Amino acid sequence: MLPALRIRDTVFEWGKQTYVMAIVNVTPDSFSGDGLAKGIGTSGFDPVREAVEQVGQFLQDGAHIIDVGGESTRPGGIVVSKEDEIARVIPVIKAIRQTYPEVIISVDTYKAKVADEALRAGADMINDVWGFLADPEMAIVVSESKAPAVLMHNRSKPENAQLLGNLGGHYIGMDYDDLMKDVTNELEISIRAALQAGVSSDKIIIDPGIGFGKTVEQNIRLINELDYFKKLGKPILLGPSRKSFIGYTLGLPPQERVEGTAATITIGIDRGADIIRVHDVKVMARVARMVDAITRHPQ
């Protein structure tokens, strides 16, 4: 049994239930089409107000964590400066914190300056898609704040990204000597970076990085063999929601991937996922509760 993690008034007891992380995209170019910033310029549109309303619905639907992001990390996405990212996410984080004082807020960023500003604005944890390896200052920021962090595996390379119509971007030609061992070894590098900076071991969560530098087939294998990563001794976050490997498997655009996402969530929980990161909170929270009832609490 992994040690429990307390964030504000919530105690995460790993293995007892699946926790739901809801996605709030403050971006104009999210692959899933739900980026709040795309409405800027529309008469009467306020992305901060929209985000707060969205969070209220997510909490009602069963979310445990709200993950706020200001840069799309989709294949072929546009890199955003730290100044622009801060301008997008900080007002949203402050408004969420003011409206919902006890909600757990995560910030989805790989930039140390953004992380620092977000934590000061009221965020509780960091979700780093480059696992502390993109910005050498990130581990220091997290250590000094004593915040928990999600360390994700990532081998994304623009030259390996392929875009295809409404199915979106995916990666091709991603060569691994041994997929499961390689991802594990590279996650261990991120974990060491965190520990060496002084991040507490019980505040590290790992994510195999579904959709980040993996082919369709590799993403499917990672989910099917997710329990392989339990050897790292950390809670596991799984983020397959609406991603292109589902679209390419089913031939469907992002807005029609709810059933495919539900299937990946079901298998992922059965294989050991502790947190699921999702867009469709109400549906996936119900899926998680049902799978928990079958796999974690058999009658």
Q: How many Cβ atoms from other residues are within 10 Å of residue 102's Cβ?
A: 9
Quick: pLDDT tens for 160-184: 555 555 666 665 667 899 999 999 9
Choosing from 74, 243, 257, 271, the catalytic residue is 243
Residue 7 included in any domain: no
Residue 183 included in any domain: yes
* Domain count across the chain: 1
Q: Locate the DSSP E strands across 93-212.
A: 104-108, 125-128, 149-152, 161-164, 168-171, 204-207
Quick: pLDDT tens for 235-283: 999 999 999 999 999 999 999 999 999 999 999 999 999 999 999 999 9
Inter-residue contact 98 to 51 (CB < 8 Å): no
Band (pLDDT 50/70/90 cuts) for residue 124 is very high
Between CA 270 and CA 294 the distance in angstroms is: 9
Inter-residue contact 109 to 85 (CB < 8 Å): yes
Choosing from 88, 111, 234, 277, the catalytic residue is 277
Q: If DSSP codes are grouped into helix, strand and coil, which group holds residue 127?
A: strand
Range of the domain at 56: 15-295
214 is catalytic: no
CATH classification at residue 195: 3.20.20.20
Q: How many Cβ atoms from other residues are within 10 Å of residue 175's Cβ?
A: 9
- Taking alpha carbons only, the member of 188, 214, 66, 75 closest to residue 132 is 188
Residue 8 included in any domain: no
Residue 2 included in any domain: no
Identity of the residue numbered 278: V
Q: Please name every residue paired with 20 in a beta bridge, in sequence order, or none if there are none.
A: 276
Residue 3 included in any domain: no
Angle at 106 between CA 81 and CA 193, to 5 degrees: 75
Residue 206 included in any domain: yes
Residue 4 included in any domain: no
Residue 10 included in any domain: no
Inter-residue contact 263 to 16 (CB < 8 Å): no
286 is catalytic: no
Band (pLDDT 50/70/90 cuts) for residue 22 is very high
- Taking alpha carbons only, the member of 222, 211, 227, 151 closest to residue 182 is 222
